[in-house]
């Protein structure tokens, strides 16, 4: 279906080629998952299939890519539109019209299909993707998962042979991600569509892949093959694979179900996990932020209704819940972006929405969903200098912080040219310059690969150990399980669960991390690894009484 013949891509101002020596064939009807760390050329490879590379992005393409017999060098993206459907990470950027039904028909209108055919296909697609209820709705009123399904539907109505998806579930909550992936699987089964997909959150998708395309680094030729075999040598791995490698299971299980069956004997023998790192300075600590009976309205609808929350110094709290549950509003209220309609918010002894920004940043800092919002300057050095001035800190404070958090960020880089992980760290350093005792992060792992995520975990743990209260809103169940002492779940503007992370996540199948599904009381791979190590040396657990 798709063939690459000695394909290489070199962008004009890049020192090294983004892709080189790609030689492979992707057969028809396969779901092929692109796996690799950030910057390994996944997006570029996807771009060569739909023709955006090089027709739209510039750069030099060597070799030849053919899709359904068409050469992408001579066919522009619009000429490939009837064989390749492309959906990017942000569905909002993809929409041309303003209602669901018109959006589904848009591609077919461009192709010049007969009205009767269009009508039939729109109805079919509404059923296939479960969108029938939403057909007349304005696109701007849809939730994240619904938008992503409409975006996929809008390219499927032209019946493409290939579907190209760049990070389709990264911005979605676990439930919405399941929705989208179920649709993809149905397409592969029922329509025989070839799906090419890249995704950082492998734990969500790897079990659906027929083939894995492993990209180890920029310029290294990618390898196509069996998922189980390739995941074993991949530099990025979901927890289920990590566990499989630890326990030495062959063939490597990729689904939670397989792994659970293999783990049955192990579950009996494994000692229970050591209790979580104690919620820092245990009970006597005074809460550094208190929210009580908080009601916040955004427009006519109440976004938060009667929220109660306290943040303790040294404690990391995860805030979970589906898209639109009010997580960002709660964080915004804690930094005074929204005034409460009723109830109280106290942070470090201040009332956020009545405090001047200059003073407030010494009490509480927020890293927003898109760290770029926080960065204005032309270079990293200027950004740090401005942060020192804003916070009234000694010159060099921010730069030193950045160097400790992430060494090796050059002073003269433009903040927009940094990688996602570097940019997040820079924003974090900027916020920490004022030394706020309360630190808030909104969806920090969006777009981060496993390595960048691991660095973030270390940084945040370290900050908590130094007494910062950390609150992070996230969809990433693995992150919450690994990092948070406490987890609160928000639904429809109310806190529906609040307690120690193990209790909250073990009680819910949606929020449970993979390890917890396979080896129940254990939440993360390191915990399970420690337990396995203890099992190998039976003397150690015997010495310690079971808890």
14/138 with CB nearer another protein: 138
3-class secondary-structure state, position 7: strand
> Per-residue string for binding with another protein, 161-180, x by CB under 8 A?
--------------------
3-class secondary-structure state, position 53: helix
3-class secondary-structure state, position 59: coil
**Which residues within the stretch 97-136 sit at the binding site for another protein (CB under 8 A)?**
97-99, 101-102, 105-115, 118-119, 122, 133-136
3-class secondary-structure state, position 299: coil
Please give the helix or strand (H or E) that residue 268 lies within, else none.
helix 256-269
234/329 with CB nearer another protein: 329
314/352 with CB nearer another protein: 352
* 255 belongs to the binding site for another protein (CB under 8 A): no
DSSP class of residue 126?
A: H
Q: Which DSSP string do the residues of 170-222 spell out, in sequence order?
A: TTS-HHHHHHHHHHHHHHHHHH--EEEEE-S-HHHHGGG-SEEEE--STTSPP
The CA distance from 44 to 13, in Å, is: 15
252/335 with CB nearer another protein: 335
356/466 with CB nearer another protein: 356
Selected from 137, 159, 260, 455, the binder of another protein by CB under 8 A is 137
* 391 belongs to the binding site for another protein (CB under 8 A): yes
54/239 with CB nearer another protein: 54
Contact 375, 410 (CB under 8 A): no
> Per-residue string for binding with another protein, 36-75, x by CB under 8 A?
--------------xxx--xx-------------------
Selected from 127, 373, 411, 503, the binder of another protein by CB under 8 A is 373
Selected from 64, 78, 186, 257, the binder of another protein by CB under 8 A is 78
Shortest distance (Å) from residue 43 CB to another protein: 12
Beta strand pairing call for 70-71 and 438-442: unpaired
238/493 with CB nearer another protein: 493
* 326 belongs to the binding site for another protein (CB under 8 A): no
Residue with tokens 């920490």: 432
3-class secondary-structure state, position 118: helix
Which stretch, 78-86, 470-478, 505-513, 522-530, contacts another protein (CB under 8 A)? 78-86
Contact residues for 123 (Cβ-Cβ < 8 A; gap 6+)? none
Shortest distance (Å) from residue 101 CB to another protein: 8
Q: How far from each other are the two terminal CA atoms of the chain, in whole angstroms?
A: 57
CA dihedral 208, 212, 213, 215 (to 10 degrees): 100
The CA distance from 505 to 47, in Å, is: 38
Shortest distance (Å) from residue 366 CB to another protein: 5
Site for another protein (CB under 8 A): how many residues? Answer: 74
**Which residues within the stretch 412-441 sit at the binding site for another protein (CB under 8 A)?**
416, 430-431, 434
Shortest distance (Å) from residue 1 CB to another protein: 17
* 141 belongs to the binding site for another protein (CB under 8 A): yes
Selected from 16, 96, 410, 465, the binder of another protein by CB under 8 A is 96
The CA distance from 331 to 435, in Å, is: 18
Selected from 368, 421, 444, 447, the binder of another protein by CB under 8 A is 368
Selected from 255, 376, 400, 417, the binder of another protein by CB under 8 A is 376
> Per-residue string for binding with another protein, 477-496, x by CB under 8 A?
--------------------
162/463 with CB nearer another protein: 162
Helix (H), strand (E), coil (C) string for 446-513: CCCCHHHHHHHHHHHHHHHHCCCEEEEECCCHHHHHHHCCEEEEEECCEEEEEEEHHHHHHCCCCCCC
* 18 belongs to the binding site for another protein (CB under 8 A): no
* 154 belongs to the binding site for another protein (CB under 8 A): yes
Selected from 16, 138, 274, 341, the binder of another protein by CB under 8 A is 138
**Which residues within the stretch 296-315 sit at the binding site for another protein (CB under 8 A)?**
none
**Which residues within the stretch 182-221 sit at the binding site for another protein (CB under 8 A)?**
none
Q: Which DSSP string do the residues of 335-401 spell out, in sequence order?
A: TTSS--SEEEEEETTB-GGGS-HHHHTTTEEEE-SSGGGG--SSSHHHHHHHHHHHHTPPTTHHHHH
Beta strand pairing call for 289-298 and 301-311: antiparallel
90/498 with CB nearer another protein: 90
DSSP class of residue 436?
A: -
Give the residue among 324, 343, 287 at the shortest CA–CA distance from 486: 287
**Which residues within the stretch 347-366 sit at the binding site for another protein (CB under 8 A)?**
356-358, 360-361, 365-366
Shortest distance (Å) from residue 52 CB to another protein: 6
Contact residues for 76 (Cβ-Cβ < 8 A; gap 6+)? 51, 55
Shortest distance (Å) from residue 185 CB to another protein: 23
């Amino acid at each position: 279906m798709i063939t690459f013949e000695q394909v290489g891509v070199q962008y004009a101002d890049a020192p090294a080629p983004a892709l080189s020596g790609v030689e492979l064939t992707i057969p028809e009807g396969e779901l092929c998952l692109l796996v690799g760390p950030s910057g390994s050329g996944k997006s570029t490879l996807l771009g060569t299939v739909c023709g955006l590379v090089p027709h739209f992005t510039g750069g030099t393409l060597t070799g030849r890519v053919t899709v359904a017999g068409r050469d992408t060098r001579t066919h522009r993206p619009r000429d490939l539109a009837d064989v390749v459907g492309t959906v990017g990470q942000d569905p909002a950027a993809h929409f041309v019209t303003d209602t669901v039904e018109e959006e589904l028909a848009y591609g077919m209108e461009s192709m010049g299909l007969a009205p009767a055919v269009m009508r039939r296909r729109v109805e079919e697609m509404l059923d296939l993707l479960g969108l029938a209820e939403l057909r007349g709705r304005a696109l701007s009123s849809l939730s994240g998962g619904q938008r992503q399904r409409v975006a996929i539907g809008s390219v499927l109505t032209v019946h493409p042979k290939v579907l190209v998806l760049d990070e389709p579930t990264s911005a979605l909550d676990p439930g919405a991600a399941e929705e989208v992936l179920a649709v993809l699987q149905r397409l592969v089964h029922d329509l025989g569509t070839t799906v090419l997909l890249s995704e950082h959150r492998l734990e969500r998708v790897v079990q659906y892949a027929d083939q894995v395309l492993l990209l180890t680094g920029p310029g290294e030729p990618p390898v196509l093959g069996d998922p189980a075999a390739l995941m074993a040598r991949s530099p990025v791995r979901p927890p289920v694979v990590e566990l499989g490698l630890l326990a030495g299971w062959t063939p490597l299980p990729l689904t939670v179900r397989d792994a659970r069956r293999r783990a049955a004997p192990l579950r009996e023998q494994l000692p229970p996990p050591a209790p979580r790192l104690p919620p820092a300075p245990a009970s006597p600590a005074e809460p550094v932020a208190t929210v009580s009976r908080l009601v916040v309205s955004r427009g006519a609808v109440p976004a938060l209704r009667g929220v109660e929350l306290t943040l303790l110094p040294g404690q990391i709290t995860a805030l979970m819940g589906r898209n639109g549950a009010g997580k960002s509003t709660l964080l915004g209220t804690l930094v005074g972006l929204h005034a409460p309609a009723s109830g109280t918010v106290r942070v470090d002894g201040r009332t956020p929405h009545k405090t001047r920004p200059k003073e407030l940043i010494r009490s509480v800092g927020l890293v927003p969903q898109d760290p770029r919002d926080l960065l204005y300057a032309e270079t990293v050095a200027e950004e740090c200098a401005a942060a020192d001035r804003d916070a009234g800190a000694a010159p060099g404070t921010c730069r030193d912080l950045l160097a400790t958090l992430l060494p090796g960020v050059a002073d003269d880089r433009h903040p927009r040219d940094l990688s996602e992980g570097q940019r997040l760290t820079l924003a974090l350093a900027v916020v920490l310059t004022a030394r706020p005792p309360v630190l808030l992060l909104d969806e920090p792992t969006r777009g981060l690969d496993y390595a960048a995520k691991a660095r973030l975990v270390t940084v945040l743990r370290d900050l908590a150990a130094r007494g910062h209260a950390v609150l992070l809103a996230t969809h990433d169940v693995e992150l919450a399980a690994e990092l948070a002492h406490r987890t609160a779940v928000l639904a429809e503007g109310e806190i529906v669960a609040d307690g120690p992370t193990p209790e909250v996540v073990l009680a819910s199948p949606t929020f449970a991390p993979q390890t917890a599904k396979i080896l129940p009381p254990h939440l993360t791979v390191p915990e399970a690894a420690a337990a396995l190590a203890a099992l190998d040396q039976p003397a150690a657990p015997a010495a310690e009484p079971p808890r």
